[in-house]
Amino acid sequence: MFTEKRKNIIAALLIVAFLSYSFFLYFSLPVKNKSVSKETSKGKLVWQQYNCNACHQVYGLGGYLGPDLTNTYSLRGPAYIKAFLQNGTATMPNFNLNGKEVNALLAYLRDIAASGKGDPRTFTINNNGTIQQ
Protein backbone atom coordinates (compact mmCIF):
# COMPACT_ATOMS: atom_id res chain seq x y z
CA MET A 1 0.00 0.00 0.00
CA PHE A 2 2.71 2.50 0.97
CA THR A 3 5.69 2.23 -1.34
CA GLU A 4 8.65 4.51 -0.63
CA LYS A 5 7.54 6.78 -3.47
CA ARG A 6 3.97 7.03 -2.13
CA LYS A 7 5.17 7.80 1.39
CA ASN A 8 7.33 10.64 0.09
CA ILE A 9 4.52 12.03 -2.09
CA ILE A 10 1.97 11.97 0.77
CA ALA A 11 4.42 13.56 3.19
CA ALA A 12 5.36 16.26 0.66
CA LEU A 13 1.69 17.03 -0.10
CA LEU A 14 0.84 17.29 3.58
CA ILE A 15 3.77 19.60 4.27
CA VAL A 16 2.88 21.85 1.32
CA ALA A 17 -0.77 21.95 2.49
CA PHE A 18 0.27 22.75 6.05
CA LEU A 19 2.64 25.54 5.05
CA SER A 20 0.08 27.02 2.63
CA TYR A 21 -2.61 26.91 5.33
CA SER A 22 -0.28 28.49 7.91
CA PHE A 23 0.92 31.35 5.71
CA PHE A 24 -2.55 31.95 4.28
CA LEU A 25 -3.75 32.39 7.86
CA TYR A 26 -0.88 34.70 8.82
CA PHE A 27 -1.68 37.00 5.89
CA SER A 28 -5.47 36.85 6.28
CA LEU A 29 -6.00 37.01 10.02
CA PRO A 30 -9.66 36.81 11.14
CA VAL A 31 -9.79 40.47 12.17
CA LYS A 32 -8.21 43.01 9.84
CA ASN A 33 -5.81 44.98 11.97
CA LYS A 34 -7.55 48.17 12.89
CA SER A 35 -5.66 50.79 14.89
CA VAL A 36 -5.39 49.92 18.54
CA SER A 37 -4.91 52.51 21.25
CA LYS A 38 -1.59 52.61 23.06
CA GLU A 39 -3.40 51.91 26.30
CA THR A 40 -5.03 48.73 24.96
CA SER A 41 -1.68 47.56 23.63
CA LYS A 42 -0.09 48.20 26.98
CA GLY A 43 -3.01 46.49 28.74
CA LYS A 44 -2.31 43.31 26.80
CA LEU A 45 1.29 43.34 28.02
CA VAL A 46 0.24 44.08 31.61
CA TRP A 47 -2.17 41.11 31.37
CA GLN A 48 0.74 38.91 30.34
CA GLN A 49 3.18 40.47 32.82
CA TYR A 50 0.99 39.44 35.77
CA ASN A 51 0.07 36.11 34.15
CA CYS A 52 -3.67 36.75 34.50
CA ASN A 53 -4.38 33.78 32.21
CA ALA A 54 -3.18 31.39 34.90
CA CYS A 55 -6.48 31.92 36.74
CA HIS A 56 -8.82 33.66 34.28
CA GLN A 57 -10.26 32.61 30.96
CA VAL A 58 -10.96 34.55 27.79
CA TYR A 59 -13.34 32.76 25.40
CA GLY A 60 -13.18 29.75 27.74
CA LEU A 61 -9.39 29.42 27.42
CA GLY A 62 -7.21 29.94 30.46
CA GLY A 63 -7.21 28.96 34.13
CA TYR A 64 -10.13 27.69 36.19
CA LEU A 65 -9.59 29.39 39.55
CA GLY A 66 -11.18 32.70 38.56
CA PRO A 67 -14.10 33.59 36.26
CA ASP A 68 -14.06 34.01 32.48
CA LEU A 69 -13.48 37.71 31.74
CA THR A 70 -14.45 37.88 28.04
CA ASN A 71 -17.51 40.10 28.53
CA THR A 72 -17.05 41.29 32.11
CA TYR A 73 -16.35 44.86 30.99
CA SER A 74 -19.60 45.17 29.05
CA LEU A 75 -21.68 43.32 31.67
CA ARG A 76 -20.31 44.78 34.91
CA GLY A 77 -18.54 47.98 33.90
CA PRO A 78 -15.10 49.40 34.69
CA ALA A 79 -15.77 50.34 38.35
CA TYR A 80 -16.56 46.72 39.25
CA ILE A 81 -13.34 45.47 37.66
CA LYS A 82 -11.32 48.29 39.17
CA ALA A 83 -12.43 47.28 42.67
CA PHE A 84 -11.03 43.78 42.17
CA LEU A 85 -7.83 45.03 40.55
CA GLN A 86 -7.08 47.42 43.38
CA ASN A 87 -7.98 45.17 46.30
CA GLY A 88 -7.68 41.56 45.22
CA THR A 89 -9.91 38.86 46.74
CA ALA A 90 -9.53 35.95 49.16
CA THR A 91 -7.92 34.02 46.31
CA MET A 92 -6.52 36.75 44.08
CA PRO A 93 -3.55 38.69 45.43
CA ASN A 94 -3.50 42.48 45.47
CA PHE A 95 -0.89 43.09 42.80
CA ASN A 96 -0.41 46.70 43.92
CA LEU A 97 -0.98 47.89 40.36
CA ASN A 98 -0.33 51.56 39.70
CA GLY A 99 -2.98 53.80 38.11
CA LYS A 100 -1.54 53.44 34.60
CA GLU A 101 -1.52 49.65 34.80
CA VAL A 102 -5.12 49.59 36.05
CA ASN A 103 -6.27 51.87 33.20
CA ALA A 104 -4.33 49.82 30.64
CA LEU A 105 -5.94 46.59 31.88
CA LEU A 106 -9.38 48.19 31.73
CA ALA A 107 -8.73 49.30 28.14
CA TYR A 108 -7.65 45.78 27.23
CA LEU A 109 -10.71 44.19 28.85
CA ARG A 110 -12.92 46.72 27.01
CA ASP A 111 -11.26 45.67 23.75
CA ILE A 112 -11.85 41.96 24.50
CA ALA A 113 -15.51 42.60 25.36
CA ALA A 114 -15.97 44.43 22.04
CA SER A 115 -14.44 41.52 20.06
CA GLY A 116 -17.45 39.19 20.51
CA LYS A 117 -19.52 37.16 22.95
CA GLY A 118 -17.98 34.29 24.89
CA ASP A 119 -21.13 33.18 26.70
CA PRO A 120 -22.07 29.66 25.49
CA ARG A 121 -25.77 30.52 25.99
CA THR A 122 -25.58 32.88 23.02
CA PHE A 123 -24.78 30.03 20.57
CA THR A 124 -27.15 27.76 18.70
CA ILE A 125 -26.34 24.19 17.72
CA ASN A 126 -26.99 23.09 14.13
CA ASN A 127 -28.12 19.60 13.15
CA ASN A 128 -24.67 18.71 11.77
CA GLY A 129 -23.03 19.41 15.15
CA THR A 130 -21.60 22.83 14.22
CA ILE A 131 -22.40 25.93 16.26
CA GLN A 132 -23.15 29.54 15.40
CA GLN A 133 -23.79 32.80 17.19
Q: Residue numbers of the site for other proteins (CB under 8 A)? A: 1-2, 4, 7-8, 10-11, 14, 17-18, 21-22, 25-26, 29-31, 33-34, 36, 40-41, 44-45, 47-55, 57-68, 90-93, 111-112, 115-116, 118, 120-121, 123, 125-126, 129-131, 133
Nearer CB in complex with other proteins: 82/92? 92
- At closest approach, how far in Å is the CB of 99 from other proteins? 20
Nearer CB in complex with other proteins: 7/100? 7
SS3 content of the chain, % helix, strand, coil (to 5): 55, 5, 40
Q: How many degrees, rounded to 5, is the angle at CA 34 between CA 110 and CA 32?
A: 110
CA 120 to chain CA mean position, Å: 15
